[in-house]
Chains A and B, each alone.
Chain A
Amino acid sequence: MSHFLNADGSTKFPFSWTGTPSRYKDMGTDELSAVDKEVVEILMKFTDKLPTMGLVRVYNSMHPIIDIEGIYLLLKLC
């Protein structure tokens, strides 16, 4: 079984850059499947109770610097 290819030989995700990335904006719950809706509802319940201001301060002091320049890797399927 290939980890990256479907049974018909197509790739499981785009391997190369595409000129048509998808736009998502203000998705409504009516656009979600029943399973996804449940995930969203539980996450909302959970996050509303988190003391975010304190966490934001921790985050600001620990924010990782991610550098993407000149560091890409080439992976070929075996």
Chain B
Amino acid sequence: MVGRIPMETVTEVREDPLEELAESNWPAKGGYRWVATDVRNQLSLFRWSHLLNSWLNCTPVITKGVSGGIVSLERVSAIDRICHGQEGATEKFFYMYMCHFSQLHVQLPLDDFTMGMLCALNVAPTQLHPKCWAYMQAFRVLCQSLYLQPSPYAFLYFYDTRPRQLTTWLCSDKSSQHQQIGRVFSILQAF
């Protein structure tokens, strides 16, 4: 089987796994007991640059016409987790899920509605469950199709949020008062 792997592929993957091995001996970052265990146990697939690069080749991340230099996408080290903060980082960073770009049609830079939602909910992009991102995208499309300006508080009129005591992904549910419009958003998010 090994003989069938093309030579260049072998060269390409050789560097990162060594780094990865060294990283796994680094002490795990502490101070995150306030985050649920299943969140802290999530490991990124993008610990190797070649995986990230091949994925980037086929997925649009930046809006057309915007300079690609607004962010750089980098590999995630073996001890980094989505809930980790900016401690010790020389440059500011944030995490996003692959599905934001590949399935939910989110592109960078984020629009005012999306950033306003994150502020109103006081959550980082990965802290909000992708299901809620799908609702937000559906809401945005619905508003835009009716020539309305999507706004965070108009969205939150239809959706409730229920933060848990031990921090985990924040979900939004249809407000009990507005089942009808909630159904419409659920439908729209499927397209």
Which residues of A are in contact with B by a Cβ distance under 8 Å? 3-5, 11-27, 29, 31-33, 35-36, 39-40, 42-44, 46-48, 50, 52, 55-56, 58-59, 62-64, 66-78
The A-contacting residues of B in range 98-122, CB under 8 angstroms, are 98-99, 103-104, 108-110, 115, 118-122
Which residues of B are in contact with A by a Cβ distance under 8 Å? 34-35, 39, 42-46, 52, 66, 69-76, 80, 82-86, 91-99, 103-104, 108-110, 115, 118-127, 129-131, 134, 142-143, 146, 148-151, 153-154, 156-163, 167, 169-170, 175-178, 180-181, 183-184, 186-187, 189-191
**Total A-B contacts with CB atoms under 8 angstroms apart:** 226
- A32 vs B103: C-alpha distance when bound (angstroms): 32
- A25 vs B157: C-alpha distance when bound (angstroms): 8
Could you say which residues of chain B place their CB within 8 Å of the CB of A27? Answer: 153, 156-157, 175
Main secondary structure of the interface of B (DSSP, over half): mixed
Q: Establish whether residues A17 and B83, one from each chain, have CB atoms under 8 Å apart when the complex forms.
A: yes
